[in-house]
Chain A
Amino acid sequence: MSGQSVGVVESQRAHFDQPLHLRSGGVLPAYDLVYETYGTLNAAKSNAILVCHALSGHHHVAGHYADQPDNIGWWDNIVGPGRPLDTDRFFIVGLNNLGGCHGSTGPSTLNPATGKPWGADFPIVAVNDWVHAQARLADRLGIDSWAAVMGGSLGGMQALRWSITFPQRVRNAIVIAAAPKLSAQNIAFNDVARQAILTDPDFHGGNYYEHNTRPVRGLRLARMLGHITYLSDDQMGEKFGRELRNSSFAFDFDVEFEVESYLRYQGDKFAGYFDANTYLLMTKALDYFDPSREDNGNLTATMARTRANFLIVSFATDWRFSPARSKEIVAALLANGRNVSYADINLNFGHDSFLMEDAHYHGVVGAFLRNIKP
């Protein structure tokens, strides 16, 4: 791995008293955002990069905590001195979005009005709501405009939304493994995942906290399903094939194939720490995401509002948000004469490729960032 890790990091918390009016019509009277920063904000406050997280991500993007050396940030391989998001040049900000379950205000945090967890009362949040909340964090940090806003998957959609909602505040946008809106198939997968959670008897209409239980079975199924869509068919074939855990068929319903074992492990692990209400909210944010809706579906008209320079990245084996979906964004930017580069990276890890360390992929992101003058 080139470059170095940022090493020991600490998370911070910002409280906001100004009510946030949400796309759904709901209002959050006050809220907390937890975030982390790496590197040093320069005097002009012009070298800041916002890293937006995907469905299950959070504010702990890079480094590790002093008391938890094994708790390494989810995108550690791209952040640090000498890495593409070079902390010797840039000030990197990562946060946990509203509705999350890693410290920011969400369904599992206490609702001050009732003294109980928000649960089912937590309002539906949209990508644009996150962007507005993130803008308030930027105000708090004194950052007028980001050198770059970036992310993969749902994180890439936030970067795209930033460039549309706050064109003057985003100088560069890096949109990785994303799409301008979900397809029917994407929404269908999300709905099956939600149904798994909603029909779990332990869900209790979203207020499972009061019943001292969690819809672990539903969340586990949702994650197993999601996980299949993050990987490529080839990769699963190479990794597991039809390998059996034992040498012969058992003719029962226990774990037999290695791929079953892997998926169940991933499902159990995720269900052990993630909040089901947050999962529901994140998938709805994905489903609702469609900035072109404001322009009757005309993405070119929507992208006319942007001012940023763009780097769009897709992965050849990603079938969840395929290269064709990234090209829709590229085409809309080109039609407006925007500065845009597009790389289709040949990595074998499907949608999850965006988290992988690869010399060419990181080379492309690093080269784009090196040309940014803070």
Chain B
Amino acid sequence: MTHTLGRPDFDLIAGWIEPGHRVLDLGCGDGTLLKHLIETRGVQGWGVEIDDANILAAIRNGINVIQGNLEKGLDEFADQAFDHVVLSRTLQTVRHTEGILREMLRVGREAVVSFPNFAYWKNLRSVLDGRMPVSEDLPYQWYDSPNVRFFTLLDFEDLCAQMGLIVRERHVLDEDGNLVDRTENRDVNFLGSLAVYRLTRAR
């Protein structure tokens, strides 16, 4: 299966976003996702990045990018300023997990969150074999990983429930980027390498 820019979650995210929407991408890297959304969905986009090289790359890509630290909140952004706030493969790198989720739904109507699932069976097998997992969705060695939070799909859903966040949609992908077509939560947690959620606040 081929995916846009080699990122299967990008296609899912793009499918949730309507033309003309205002999108904020947290940890936007070089702005690849925003550029894709601007070109294919005609959105208005802004990114937040902490890293100098990514700031430069995003500006080079013609993307609006704001240098900032997600751990310190999103003070520059007004309440409900965006239709979608995206946190793509970044939640596991943020220490203030609840803080950033709350901030996303303060500045945005909907939050889109994707993250690697640590309960994916290959990751579990790795640990059983005595090694920390390294995979397509967890591409780092333990000593150079930016990840600071290690959690599973089920853990995440518990936190959402605890915080009163509503899961509007969930897509779970295996390592090849194919949708995991199971209904049992336990199976999905076992077979999914990457989870993509669409969240809102309770209305």
Contact = CB atoms under 8 A, between A and B. Distances in A.
A330 B77 CA distance: 9
Contact of B67 (A334, A343, A370): A343
Interface string A133-144: 000000000000
The listed residue with most A CB atoms (<10 A of its CB), out of B55, B65, B68, is B55
Interface stretch (B56-64, B166-174, B194-202): B56-64
B108 to A, nearest CB: 13
A327 interface: yes
Contact of A343 (B46, B55, B63, B78): B55
A25 interface: no
B81 A335 contact: yes
Given A341-B66, A344-B67, A330 B76 contact: yes
A346 interface: yes
Contacts of A368: 59
Interface residues of B, number: 21
Contact of B65 (A335, A341, A346): A341
A43 to B, nearest CB: 25
Nearest to B53: A360
A24 interface: no
B81 A341 contact: no
Given A327-B76, A330-B76, A344-B67, A337 B44 contact: yes
Interface string B35-65: 0000000001010000010011011101111
A363 B46 CA distance: 20
B81 A342 contact: no
Interface string B133-170: 00000000000000000000000000000000000000
Given A334-B76, A335-B78, A342 B59 contact: no
Contact of A337 (B22, B60, B63, B68): B22
Contacts, number: 55
Contacts of A364: 55-56, 59
Nearest to B59: A367
A367 B60 CA distance: 5
B75 interface: yes
A342 B52 contact: no
A368 B64 CA distance: 10
B46 to A, nearest CB: 7
B66 A330 contact: yes
18 contacts: A327-B75, A330-B66, A331-B75, A331-B76, A331-B78, A334-B76, A334-B81, A339-B64, A340-B66, A341-B55, A341-B59, A343-B55, A360-B56, A363-B56, A364-B55, A364-B56, A367-B60, A371-B60
Interface of A: 311, 327, 330-331, 334-335, 337, 339-344, 346, 360, 363-364, 367-368, 370-371
